A and B are shown apart, each in its own frame.
Chain A
Amino acid sequence: MAICEYLPRALCRFPAISDSYIRQARQVIDEGFKGIVREYGSIIDIVVRPLQLFLNYLERLFTTSPWTVVLIVMLLVVYFGSRSIRITIGTAIGMVLIGVVGLWEDTMTTLAIVTVSTLIAIIIGLPIGILMARSDRIQGVINPILDVMQTMPSFVYLIPVVVIFGIGKVPGLIAVVIYAVPPMIRLTNLGIRLVDKEVLEAADAFGSSPGQKLWNVQMPLALPTIMAGINQTIMMSLAMVVVASMVGVGGLGRNTLQAINNQFFTFGFLNGFALVAIAIIFDRTSQAFGKRLQRHSEVVHG
């Protein structure tokens, strides 16, 4: 650039720290990180092990059971969750189409990992959300963390996960959970905070202990909001399962990744549609279930 000739160098090109320093710093940090991982390898194993067993168990259950059994159980769950014939029939059609194009097994693998990650997200998210609702201080600490987590591109999650846990199904699962847990936490917190002050005062006036207030009043009244959180968590798990295939998660995600790498147009789209079908099934069922939880507020007296 011509202007640069008249300017001191530092004002023209950004004065970055010299490459060698950065290389050194990177090395130190990376080594330290790996050192920690090596050091605590056994602890990490203890954490990872049950996840792996659970995930493997569920995956085997889903993929090795006869498809008829899986489909019937699934339709029963959908029907009793949503109490809607339309959603149930839609589910049946969707799953049969998936089977016909030969994606049944991959779909089962994906279903297993989404189920496990959603369960874990609920188990982690619910108590954190409750804690946040109880204390403004905790909310003040956790909220910015959630903000960062939700704005960070999903690929970035994979880096620390891979460094700490390596490549494989479980690291993928962990990445999915981390990505999917924020809405669960946020909406649990929100749901509890939105509970009517008057009703809480009544609960206090009758001498409820904090625990009784939580289980008798706050949780039931927050449940519809919490259900919305679970719904979002499921949707985000489904999205992240595709990304997590990069670190070794199988199923529809891996197929999609392959399709991208090899330019398999039709195969890629079939997998995409299968993912959409599952997403719609989960979404409709959990929403219908959430609505049913609000039955008490349906008939509003005028």
Chain B
Amino acid sequence: MASHGIEIKGLYKIFGPRGRDHVEAVKNGLSKAELNERYGHVLGLKDINISMPAGGITVVMGLSGSGKSTLIRHINRLIEPTYGELIYDGVNICGMNERALREFRRHKTAMVFQKFALLPHRTVIENTVYGLDIQGISRSESTKKAKYWIERVGLSGFENHYPNQLSGGMQQRVGLARALTNDADILLMDEAYSALDPLIRVDMQSVLLDLQAELKKTVVFITHDLDEALRLGDKIAILRDGQVVQQGTGQEIVLSPADDYITAFVKEVNRSRVIQAKTVMKPFDGQAEGVRIGATTTLESAAKTMTENGQTKATITDDAGTPIGTLDLQTMIAAMVTPAGSETSKMAAE
């Protein structure tokens, strides 16, 4: 299990030959458009502060061009920051010298790429051992590990195929196996699933969640799909034009979107998969009725349990099993169909 989270503090990235010189101006409110127009520099990231918890999945979300790839590439410093700090295990990644950085990349991080970025001249198994090759680990040992992960991602039998003999979904599994074989604390996934069709995508999400339940790595996952973000993310940060507009759990974002941009994002989302039982339950009144349901169960699975048991009421219990609230179908349905909180209050005011 990963024991260190990643702290991003006041990170700025300005693309261009003299990016450093413009940090002050940007801090003082120079906008992305102005910076581009006046100085020909591109504002990539502005004042990013995110704390990515150890052993959890942090999802970074945003539209195309919002700076997601730029952000994730700072974590293993494929992109040099203009200003700010990234702390891992008490060390500022931005301050590492070449040697330290190489060691950090070899042993602490592994990355899965949007366009797979497999080595075309190497077979599946040779691709999978790449990270260990680089670390100087013998093939006999690395092959054993690689075989294990190839099997885990469901590619047994394809060890000796070349990447272009595989479908996109299979190639991405190779990418995942390659990253997992590295056995690094940090797993960086840049739109790893965006190129996959919906069914394979859900399948790969499950693969990741299953693996994560057992490995507990610090995962940074990039996506522009809110459903994917909500399914995977312990924590979600939403980027817009290089700035974080909101961060929090999926539920927090769906229930109280920070602005119109995010409201637009969350409108189409399946709320029953996000909202947890404890969020909408009534306080426990001493009467345990119906089925017992865990506090963090989503409304969707709660509804499923209740329907299967032919009940319309449920008792909500905490981790220890003590009842802490009650829930009925009526409340649940209301919570699922009600749009974001702000609009309800607006209607109430009228």
In the bound complex, CA of A167 to CA of B338 (Å): 95
Tell me the number of A-to-B contacts counted with CB atoms below 8 Å.
73
Asked if B120 contacts A296 (CB within 8 A), the reply is yes
B164 cross-chain contacts in A, Cβ below 8 A: 296-297, 299-301
- State whether the Cβ of A208 lies closer than 8 Å to any Cβ in chain B: yes
Q: Which residue of the partner chain, among A205, A208, A217, A300, contacts B76 with CB atoms under 8 Å?
A: A205
Asked if A209 contacts B102 (CB within 8 A), the reply is yes
Q: Report the minimum CB–CB distance from A262 to chain B (whole Å).
A: 53
Asked if B134 contacts A206 (CB within 8 A), the reply is yes
In the bound complex, CA of A207 to CA of B134 (Å): 7
Q: Report the minimum CB–CB distance from B100 to chain A (whole Å).
A: 11
Q: Report the minimum CB–CB distance from A179 to chain B (whole Å).
A: 32
For B156-167 the 0/1 string (1 means CB < 8 A from A) is 000000111111
Interface of A is mostly: helix
Asked if A207 contacts B102 (CB within 8 A), the reply is yes
In the bound complex, CA of A277 to CA of B76 (Å): 55
The residue of chain B having its C-beta at the shortest distance from the C-beta of A224 within the complex is: B121
B135 cross-chain contacts in A, Cβ below 8 A: 207
B119 cross-chain contacts in A, Cβ below 8 A: 199, 202-203, 216-217, 221
Asked if B103 contacts A207 (CB within 8 A), the reply is yes
For B128-154 the 0/1 string (1 means CB < 8 A from A) is 001101110000000000000000000
For A285-302 the 0/1 string (1 means CB < 8 A from B) is 000000000001101110
Which chain B residues numbered 107 to 122 have a C-beta less than 8 Å away from chain A?
107, 109-111, 113, 115, 117-122
Asked if B134 contacts A220 (CB within 8 A), the reply is no
In the bound complex, CA of A220 to CA of B130 (Å): 14
- State whether the Cβ of A45 lies closer than 8 Å to any Cβ in chain B: no
- State whether the Cβ of A31 lies closer than 8 Å to any Cβ in chain B: no
- State whether the Cβ of A30 lies closer than 8 Å to any Cβ in chain B: no
In the bound complex, CA of A25 to CA of B120 (Å): 59
Asked if A301 contacts B167 (CB within 8 A), the reply is yes
- 9 A-B interface contacts by CB (under 8 A): A199-B117, A199-B120, A203-B119, A203-B130, A205-B78, A206-B105, A206-B131, A209-B102, A299-B164
